[in-house]
Every structure is written in structure tokens, then in C-alpha cells.
Structure 1
């Protein structure tokens, strides 16, 4: 009989590529992870993981088992959801990880709505960058992720997750007030090819959006200033340090006295979604949270 807990460990190793990183995500020691993998290999009669200088990777037998592990773990999530529904005491805590703008735009309104419609549900929020929250869901550190599409993000067909689209928003150009294009109603990314740029750090999903938009326009941006705080990016643009592309919602509350914002022709977009472990979407605590997030995202979709 295969132990489902060991299947979670196998999936964590596949996700994190090293035993040490998988152990940290699961709050276990590396030796405990190694012991559980060895026991799983004994249970199945196959070598499942190979370790090398570049980390750990699954063998062909491990990949086969991982496919079944995703289905088994999703079914266990559904079983927990149905049992919780049977218990019918809809009261408890749901932990949500999200990036700062998403917290203000959809999570805070969702919490306010839940206080009226489902007062027994307590939402605990953790600030996490747009590419960090999904791994936290897969590692069972949080229940729900509000995340941004990024290169390498799990796709809509990923059997580990259930995704709920929330909203999509364009990036606007932020220019110094004295910029030669400040008087135009619209700008194109190609118009900014010779400028100095301000942008998020590599690894931030918005960094990828900016770099790809510039690549499509035929140039590599000269990124001289980096910050993941978009209000800081706007302040630098206002000081004449360069130009930037900023998600529209991130401009709310920013000091624009010395900077101008212009729509971008063919603007790139930031796509935001909620994700839970597959099977957990029907849990009586999680389902109302997902519904509240989708409803809170309505005004953002309209904008």
C-alpha cells in the first residue's frame, strides 16, 4: 500500500528539484525526506528519484507515479472538502497569499464581503510576490494563491491546481513630466527604445512583461534602476531617472506630481488568477473565498 504522505514528498521533490528545498517547503529535515523516498521506493519496487550535481530528478518510474500522485492527492482534497461539508460547521481559517496590489484590489473587498455573507470564515493574508504564491499552495503552506501569469507558471491544464481567472489589466507608461512624449495622448513601447528604464527585479513577473514588451518592439530595455515597489518606480520616473511600464492598478495612490501616465498602444497586460490545490475548490471554507474573490474582481475587469 502506497502512503499518500510519501506521494506529497515525491511531488515536492519534483517541484523543487532538490531534497533540501523540498524538505524546507514541507517543514521536514532532508534526512526525513530521504527516508520517506526510500520507503516509497521500497513500497513500489522501483527507483523513483535520481540525485546528481544539479539536484534531484524523477526517473521514468517516478514520472509515472507522479501522474497518479497528482490524481490521488486531488481526490484526497475532494474527500476532505466533502467531509468538511458534511460537518457543515462553516467556520474556520483560510490562508491566502497574494501580491500587494492584489491584496488591495480584490482580497480586502472580499474579506469585507465575507464578513457579511460568511462571518464564520476568517481569512489570513500573507504578502507574496506574484510568482511565489502558487508554490506556497502546492506546498500546503497556504490554501489560496492570488497570482500573476509569468514565464514558468503552471498552466491551466496543470492537474495539481484549479485556477479561477480574476482580472486582466494593462500596463501604462510612466514618463518624467519633461519627457518629449509627455504631451502625447498615447505612446508606443518602441518610442521609448532610447530611454533609460526603471523596472522590477528579475524574478518578478512584471519584469518579464516589461522585457518581453520591449523585445516585441525590437529592443532590449536599458534597465538602470530596479524596485519591486511601483510607487518607488513612479517616484524615480518623476525625478527624471527614466521611464517605466506599470500595471494600471499599481498607480493608485502614487505621487504623480512630477510624472505623467500615458496609455500604451498595444499595451501588455498583467493577468491575475486565484489558484487552489485541485479538489479543494469545493471545500466549504475555500469555495466562498473563491467566490468572494471573483466578485471583488468584477470592478477591476470592468476597468
Structure 2
């Protein structure tokens, strides 16, 4: 019989990459993690790790063990959901991660709905971009992530994660008021290189036949907006940024098929039936619907 705690440590190493990262995440010392994994290797009877430079990686047998550990942990998620479902009233903590514009516009009304319906449920919110939040979800740092997908740039799917669509968020070209020249002749603000938003934006401009002059880089959409408002740059802004309010800068439609990003929620397999996860998804859906209605009225 293999020790589940040690199997979890091996799984953490698979997802976090280094012994130091595992130790930091679980509040252990690296030597303690290494010792526990050595004990697991003795239990299994074969090497589970092999050195690669200064780091280690899982052997084929280690990968097999992690795959089975994932299946066991998914069943435990299902058991946790069933136990929670058998209780009256929601308690405990739900750990939620959301990117900036979703955190600004969807999270506050969602918290209001959850507080009214489930006052004993504690919701812990972290602002995090999907490229950081989704690996953290797989590592069990979060219970639910609000993520985004840009048109023509699908994100990698992971079989152990479950997605549910939330809404479509329109994207528009924002130009400073009174700008004489078009977008090709102006400085631009975009998200940093390597991000899905940057890849989508660059492809959009290049498909139109020109290379954008990117002078400002930030993941902060409020900074993007401020630079447009004060005449320093053009930007591609999501409608979610306005939260139902009237835009403060001129906006232009994008070409067909490239006009909106997909917003969706992600949880680990087996946890989608947990009452707290279901309640949060329902509240998020209501908040998104109300925001769409408000935007439509405006």
C-alpha cells in the first residue's frame, strides 16, 4: 500500500517543477520533501526521479504513479462534494481566482449574491491571470478559476480540468479622442509578450497588413484605458472594462470573427458537483447576465 501523502508530494513535484517550489507551497523544507520522496521510492521499489542538470524530473514509473494519484484525488474530490451536498447550508472556504477585468466587474456582484444566499461560506479571491491561475488550480491552490480565451487562439486543454462557458466579452479598438491618424500610425499599449492577449492582438494587426508600434506593456487594463484617455496610445479594450458604464474613449468594431473573447470557469475534475462550486458558478452566471442586460440597456 502506497502512502497517499507521499504520492501527493510526487504529484506536486510534477506540477510545480522543483523541490523548492513544492516545499514553499506546502510549508515544508526541501530536505523534508526529498526525504519523503526517497521513502516513496523505497516503497515502490523503483526510481521515481532522475537528475536533469540541477533539477529532477519524474521517471516513466513516476509518471505512471502520478496518473493514478490524479485518479484517486479526483475520486476524493467527488467524495468531498457528496459529503458537502449531504449537509444543510454551505460552510467552509472557496478559493477563487480571476483575471483583472473579471475581478473588477464580476466578482463584487457575485460576492453579494453568495453572501445573501450562503452567509456561512467564506470566499477567498485572488487576482491572477489564467496562465498562472490554471496551473495553480491543478496544483490545488484554487478551487475555481475564471479564465479567458481569445478568438483564434485556443488555450491548452487539460483532461483533469472541467470548463463551463460563462459569457462572451466583446473586444474593440480604442483610439484617443480627436485622433487624426488611424491605428497603424500611433503608439500602442498591449499586454506583455508571451501572453495570449498579446499574441491575439499582434496577429490581428499583422493580418490587417501593418506592424504595431508597441511602446507600453502591462497586464493592467486600467492603465491601458488611462493611456488612451490621455492621448498616448491606441489599445484593444474589452467591454467588461466598462461594467455597464458609458465608454470614455471612442471605440471601433473589429473585423468579423475576431470580436470577442470567451469567458469561462474552470474547476478540477470531480469537484464540479460540490455545492460551493455550483453556487459560485450560478452566482457568476447571474452577475454576467445582469452585466449584459445593463450594457444592452445602455
Name the TM tier (shorter chain).
0.7 to 0.9
Counterpart position of 1:160 = 160
3-state DSSP of counterpart to 1:276: strand
Give CA deviations for 1:70-119 in whole Å, capped at 9, x if unaligned: 21111111112222333445222212121232123322222222233333
Question: Does the C-alpha gap of structure 1 residues 292 and 256 become closer, same or farther in structure 2, counting only changes over 3 Å?
Answer: closer
Contact (CA 8 Å) 1:26, 1:139: kept in 2 or not? no
2:281 maps to which of 290, 295, 300? 290
The separation in 2 between residues aligned to 1:212 and 1:251, in whole angstroms, is 25
The separation in 1 between residues aligned to 2:52 and 2:210, in whole angstroms, is 38
The separation in 2 between residues aligned to 1:167 and 1:43, in whole angstroms, is 48
Counterpart position of 2:174 = 174
Q: Is 1:77 aligned with 2:60?
A: no
The separation in 2 between residues aligned to 1:69 and 1:224, in whole angstroms, is 46
Counterpart position of 2:103 = 103
The separation in 2 between residues aligned to 1:53 and 1:220, in whole angstroms, is 40
Per the TM alignment, residue 203 of structure 1 is displaced from its structure 2 partner at its CA by 5.1
The separation in 1 between residues aligned to 2:204 and 2:21, in whole angstroms, is 33
TM-score (norm 2): 0.84
Segments of structure 2 that go 5 or more residues without pairing to the other structure are: none
1:202 maps to which of 161, 183, 193? 193
TM-score (norm 1): 0.83
Counterpart position of 1:184 = none
3-state DSSP of counterpart to 2:83: helix
2:225 maps to which of 234, 243, 261? 234
Question: Does the C-alpha gap of structure 1 residues 236 and 90 become closer, same or farther in structure 2, counting only changes over 3 Å?
Answer: closer
Segments of structure 1 that go 5 or more residues without pairing to the other structure are: 182-190
Contact (CA 8 Å) 2:100, 2:220: kept in 1 or not? no
Q: Is 1:248 aligned with 2:248?
A: no
Counterpart position of 2:253 = 263
Question: Does the C-alpha gap of structure 1 residues 261 and 89 become closer, same or farther in structure 2, counting only changes over 3 Å?
Answer: closer
Contact (CA 8 Å) 2:89, 2:118: kept in 1 or not? no
3-state DSSP of counterpart to 1:28: coil
Question: Does the C-alpha gap of structure 1 residues 131 and 255 become closer, same or farther in structure 2, counting only changes over 3 Å?
Answer: farther
Contact (CA 8 Å) 2:173, 2:251: kept in 1 or not? yes
The separation in 2 between residues aligned to 1:215 and 1:20, in whole angstroms, is 41
Q: Is 1:132 aligned with 2:132?
A: yes
Counterpart position of 2:15 = 15
Contact (CA 8 Å) 1:213, 1:268: kept in 2 or not? no
The separation in 2 between residues aligned to 1:3 and 1:46, in whole angstroms, is 15
